[in-house]
A and B are shown apart, each in its own frame.
Chain A
Amino acid sequence: MPEFLAEIIIEGKKNARDPEGETIMRDLMIKHGYDMVDSVRSGKILKVKLEAKDDKDAEDICFNMVNELRIYNPVAHVCTIKIVK
């Protein structure tokens, strides 16, 4: 079966506070010459290589996986899955 590369990105929900993103922007970027930055959201990325029938199959597998294994917590996070190939 062909191999696919999926990028799974886990971030906080848009309306939840992100103290890490805020602090990085405020205390690191803005204070040191990068004041054109408007916002920073922090998150986690998992780069997953997997075997699947096709793009859609790869996406479905990842979708089931992140939900079943609680790779993200839907109460606090959003999760996006991109098949990068």
Chain B
Amino acid sequence: MPMHVLVIQFSGSTCDRDLVNAMRNVMGWNVDFVWYQEAQNIIENYDAIFLPGGFAYGDYLRAGIIAAFTPVMKKVKEIAKEGIPVLGICNGFQILVESELLPGALIGNETLRFSCKWTNLRVETTRSSATNIAKKGDVWKIPIAHGEGRYYLDKVGLKQLNENDQVVWRYVNDEGETTKEANPNGSIENIAGICNLEGNIVGLMPHPERAAENIISPFNTDHGKSYFHSIENFFRRK
């Protein structure tokens, strides 16, 4: 039986259809694509829940904040407690952070400019629902496209994040090093994505759905598939 997953469409989401198409066409999954006001009523019984990228509420006031207050996010918090994989991509990550389902903040890029480019993500842990079929140290080529993607956390929080093995990906250069040049937005410690303590809630700024097919990758790669295969593996393992 293919995975039965939910993609929540917030008011202003733009990368929702891409995520739906990638999961249907590449993974063959059964994907329900639901408007946020209807999603709050049907959110139980999914194998995984996705918060897609885009500009929910135009990113007005602060990316993700207005969406974080929607009733459906209350339900997402409850479902997440049960250990169901909850995945946030880009704007989805911002919503998870503003909903306090993941620690930290995503603030404006250091360059003060929106940035769209392909980055190298190094897998830091295989505990998370989105990396458990990978090996630590694997490098995935995944693109970013954001203006507020700079991950920030204070010293205390950062120490905990590292000690608890919650950093999932870091930006690295072609040699696999976390250099300043490899960091597209000034994120602290080149952090690109993190998970919660249990590992089921994962947020990242880059877009794996844009990297799951060779033809749309300038490097002819499809590392995004590893993200989705991991989620399936995590779910089935439970």
Contacts and interface: CB of A to CB of B under 8 A. Distances in A.
A23 B58 contact: yes
Interface string B39-74: 000000000000000000110110001100100000
B58 A20 contact: yes
B115 interface: no
A32 B65 CA distance: 13
B11 interface: yes
Contacts of B11: 27
Nearest to B62: A24
Interface of A: 19-20, 23-24, 27-28, 31-32, 42
Contacts of B69: 28, 31-32
A12 B14 CA distance: 27
Nearest to A40: B61
Determine the interface band of chain B, counting residues with CB < 8 A from chain A.
under 10
A28 B58 contact: no
Contacts of A42: 60-61
5 contacts: A19-B60, A23-B58, A27-B11, A28-B61, A31-B69
Contacts of B58: 19-20, 23
Chain B CB within 10 Å, residue with most, of A19, A24, A32: A24
Contacts of B66: 23-24, 27-28
Nearest to B12: A23
A24 B65 CA distance: 10
Contacts of B60: 19-20, 23-24, 42
Contacts of A23: 57-58, 60-61, 66
A30 to B, nearest CB: 12
A23 B62 CA distance: 12
Contacts of A20: 58, 60-61
Given A20-B58, A28-B69, A42-B61, 20 more contacts: A19-B58, A19-B60, A20-B60, A20-B61, A23-B57, A23-B58, A23-B60, A23-B61, A24-B60, A24-B61, A24-B66, A27-B11, A27-B66, A28-B57, A28-B61, A28-B65, A28-B66, A31-B69, A32-B69, A42-B60
